[in-house]
Amino acid sequence: MAEELWRHTDPASTAMWRFIQSVNAKHNLNISDYKGLYRWSIDNVALFWEECWNFVGIKGEVDGKLKAFPEDAPMFPRPDFFSNSRLNFAENLLFPPLETPLDPASPATITLTELPGSLRETSWSELREAVRRCANALRQSPVDLKAGDIVAGYVSNHVEALVAMLAAASVGAVWTGISPDNGVSAVLDRLGQIGPKVLFADNGTVYNGKEWSSTSKTLEIVKELQQNAKTLKSVVVINNINTDLGLEDLSALGVVSIDYDSFLASSPADKPLTFEQLPPLSPFTSSTRAAQRVYPRLSFTQRWGP
C-alpha cells in the first residue's frame, strides 16, 4: 500500500468540502470524501459541471435553464459544453466571484526580472484600469478590433503582456503569444498561420542578467507578415528594456506603430470596460508552435505466389 504523504488538517475549511455539502443538500446525497465526489462526478458528468458553474459563480448569460450538455451525450466525440450560455473569459478573471470581495488595492500581480530593483506590484484596480484603456484603444481606429480578430504578443512574462491578453479577450479576439527570445523563423511559423491584426512586441528581453534588444527581430517579423499574411494593421511596442523602440523603422513598413504607454493613453477616459459575451468555445488562445508538417510513411506489401 502506498505511503500517505500528506493529509489536510481541516478538510471542512476547504472549498471542495463546501462544494460536497452543497451537492449533498441539493441532491439528497451522502458524499463524504474526495473518492465519493469523484465517483459521483463521473456517473453524473453533466450535472457535475452544472453544479461547478453554479458553485464557482461563473459570470455569464444563460438562455433558459443552465445545461452542460444532454445527459446521454457521449464523452467522445466531446459534446459542446454549456451551448446555451455565453460568457467572457477576461471578465471572470478580472472580477472573480469570491465569497470575500477582493480589495482593489491588493496586489493582482507581482513581477520580477533578473535585474536589480525590478520588483513590481500591480493592484487589482491598476490592472483593471490598464485593461480598460487597452481594450478601448484596440476597439477604436485605426485598429478597430472586433470579436474573432487575432492579437499576437511577441512578449515576455510581464504585466503588459497580461494586460494585452485580457484586453484582447474582453473584445472577444483570439490571443496568441510567443516569447521574444525565440528567433524570427519560429515566430513566423506561428504567426504566419493565423495572420494577426495587432502585434504587441517587447523592445528587448532580460537574460542571464543582461538586456538584449529584439527590435531588429520584430522589424523582420513585421516585414514578412506584411508581405505574406497582409493582415497586420498596428504594432504596439513595449518598453521592456532601456533601448530604442524602433518605431520609425516599423512605420516605414506601412503599419501604425506606437509605444505601449501612448497606446493606452489614446483610450477615451470616460469609456467603461465592456466584455463581449461569447459561446464557451470562443475564448480561444492559439498554442500552435510551428508550421504544420506532413510526415511521409512508407508501406511495404509482400505478395506470395507467382
* CATH class in words for 107-286: alpha beta
Q: How far is the CA of 281 from the CAs of 49, 79, 162, 176, 185, in angstroms? A: 15, 11, 21, 16, 30
pTM of the model: 0.89
- Provide the pLDDT for residue 192: 94
**All structural domains of the chain with their residue ranges:** 15-84, 107-286
Q: How far is the CA of 112 from the CAs of 3, 237, 258, 259, in angstroms? A: 38, 20, 25, 22
Mean per-residue pLDDT pooled into runs of 10, the chain (306 residues): 90 95 98 96 96 96 94 88 95 91 96 91 98 98 95 97 98 95 94 95 94 97 94 97 96 97 96 96 61 50 45
- Provide the pLDDT for residue 292: 54
The number of C-alpha atoms within 13 Å of 244 and in the hemisphere containing its C-beta is: 9
The DSSP bridge partners found for residue 234 are 198, 256
